[in-house]
A and B are shown apart, each in its own frame.
Chain A
Amino acid sequence: MSSYIIPLIFIILFCYAKHKKVNTYDTFVKGAKKSIPLVVSIFPYIATIMIAVALLRVSGITTFLANLLSPIFGFFGIPTELIELILLRPFTGSGSFALLNDVLTNYGPDSYISRCACVILGCSETIFYVTTVYISQTKVKKLLYAIPIALFCALFGSILACLLCKIL
Chain B
Amino acid sequence: MNKIWFLMVIGSISCLIWTDPANVLDSMINASTEAFNLSIELCAVYAVWLGFLELVEESGLGEKLAHALHPVIKKLFNIQDSQTEKMIALNISANMLGLGNAATPMGIEAMKRLDDGSGVATPAMIMLIVLNATSIQLLPTTIIGLRSAAGSNNPSDIIIPTLIATFFTCLLGILLTKTIEKLKNKLKRNKK
Contact = CB atoms under 8 A, between A and B. Distances in A.
B27 A38 contact: no
B81 interface: no
Interface residues of B, number: 97
B59 A22 contact: yes
Interface of B: 1, 4-5, 8-9, 11-13, 15-16, 19-20, 23-24, 27-28, 30-32, 34-36, 38-40, 42-44, 46-48, 50-56, 58-61, 97, 100, 104-105, 107-108, 111-112, 114-115, 117-121, 125-126, 128-130, 132-135, 137, 139-144, 146-147, 150-155, 157-158, 160-162, 164-166, 168-170, 172-173, 176-177, 180
Nearest to B50: A31
Contacts of B51: 27-32
Contacts of A94: 34, 38
A101 B143 CA distance: 9
Task: Tell me what chain A mostly uses at the interface: helix, strand, loop, or mixed.
Answer: helix
Greatest chain A CB density within 10 A among B4, B19, B132 is at B132
Contacts of B160: 168
B129 to A, nearest CB: 4
Contact of B31 (A22, A53, A104): A53
